[in-house]
Amino acid sequence: MSHHLLLIEDDSQIVEMLHSYLLKEGYNVTVALDGLEGVARFQQGAFDIVLVDLMMPKLDGIEVIKRIRELSRVPILIMSAKDSDVDKAIGLGFGADDYIAKPFSLIEVSARIKAAIRRATTYSDAGPAGAGNHSSAAEPRVLTIGTLRIDLDNFSANKNGSDLKLTAKEFEILKLFASNPNRVFTKAQLYGFIWNDEYYGDENVINVHIRRLREKIEDQPSAPRYIKTLWGIGYKWEGQ
């Protein structure tokens, strides 16, 4: 079955290049040339992934991401010439799953799209508990840890009875940690399990997702009870 992709980009040359290439790759591509049109298109269709530029007329990419995240956990890939750490952090912080800087190669875009769709539709069966292995009948389907309740089947979590608005990546990280208490994960391991891709040392993606997750699950994010930092090594889950 062909995956349906929404491309929100105002540069006509980039649109033509990506549209032609992705059609040849077997995708069904819908194009929007500004942010408002992009949100409207998203509300009208069912998409497997969204590619969005940050700098667009009528509605910028950050606002587009925010509005889509109110409706869906669909994977969102940012494409932008704004390549600063701040821009990456802002985009990822509002719920984007990945960031690719312009100019980019079509092969790289294709690889990132495939990886994002793969992550959204399946969990890796290899590795630690909670990384997607549902084969064990003894695996708990609901984890209760302190004030947190994590529903592994319905991909939801709540704290003190109130639902947590987690992105798909935030839930995957939470599930991985909570299912493996006291296990230390390096950043390379986290990237491999959650992003299912090779780690190239770019810490921004991981750092932003950990920070945002802490803000949602911790009483004091600056002094976390659950997700502990092991400086120079990685992270581990405590409080269970």
Q: What is the pLDDT of residues 107-158, one digit of tens each?
A: 888 888 888 887 776 543 434 544 444 333 444 478 888 889 988 777 889 9
Of residues 156 and 37, more confidently modeled: 37
**190 touches 208 (CB < 8 A):** no
* Containing structural domain, residue 222: 142-237
Mean pLDDT throughout 180-184? 82
List Cβ neighbours of 138 (8 Å cut-off, separation of 6 or more): none
pLDDT of residue 132: 43
Q: How many domains does the chain have?
A: 2
Question: Looking at the structure, do residues 8 and 51 belong to the same domain, yes or no?
Answer: yes
pLDDT of residue 19: 94
Q: Residues of the chain with pLDDT > 90: what percent?
A: 32
Tell me if 220 is assigned to some domain.
Answer: yes
Nearest-5° Cα angle at 162, 159 to 165: 85
Q: Residues of the chain with pLDDT > 70: what percent?
A: 83
Domain of 230: which CATH number? 1.10.10.10
Q: Which among 27-31, 108-112, 142-146, 160-164 has the top mean pLDDT?
A: 27-31
Q: Which of 53, 86, 121 is the last residue of a domain?
A: 121
Q: Which of 121, 150, 181 is the last residue of a domain?
A: 121
Instruction: Map residue 208 onto helix, strand or coil.
Output: helix
Instruction: Map residue 4 onto helix, strand or coil.
Output: strand
**131 touches 124 (CB < 8 A):** yes
Residue 164: exposure state from Cβ atoms within 10 A (0-12, 13-18, ≥19): middle
Q: Which of 56, 90, 121 is the last residue of a domain?
A: 121
**DSSP class per residue in 31-98:** EESSHHHHHHHHHHS--SEEEEESS-SSS-HHHHHHHHHTT----EEEEES--SHHHHHHHHHTT-SE
Tell me how far apart the 2 most distant CA atoms of the chain are, in Å. Answer: 53
Domain of 27: which CATH number? 3.40.50.2300
pLDDT of residue 96: 83
Of residues 240 and 238, more confidently modeled: 238
Residue 160 CA: distances (Å) to CA of 29, 150, 179, 181, 218: 42, 12, 19, 20, 11
The pTM of the full predicted model, rounded to 2 decimals, is 0.56
Tell me if 212 is assigned to some domain.
Answer: yes
Question: Looking at the structure, do residues 117 and 170 belong to the same domain, yes or no?
Answer: no
For residue 29, give the H/E element and its range: strand 28-32
Residues 62-103 pLDDT 10s: 899 989 988 888 889 988 876 555 666 666 777 788 888 888
Q: Helices (H), strands (E): how many in the chain?
A: 8, 12
Question: Looking at the structure, do residues 91 and 155 belong to the same domain, yes or no?
Answer: no
**Predicted confidence (pLDDT) at residue 5 exceeds the cutoff of 90:** yes
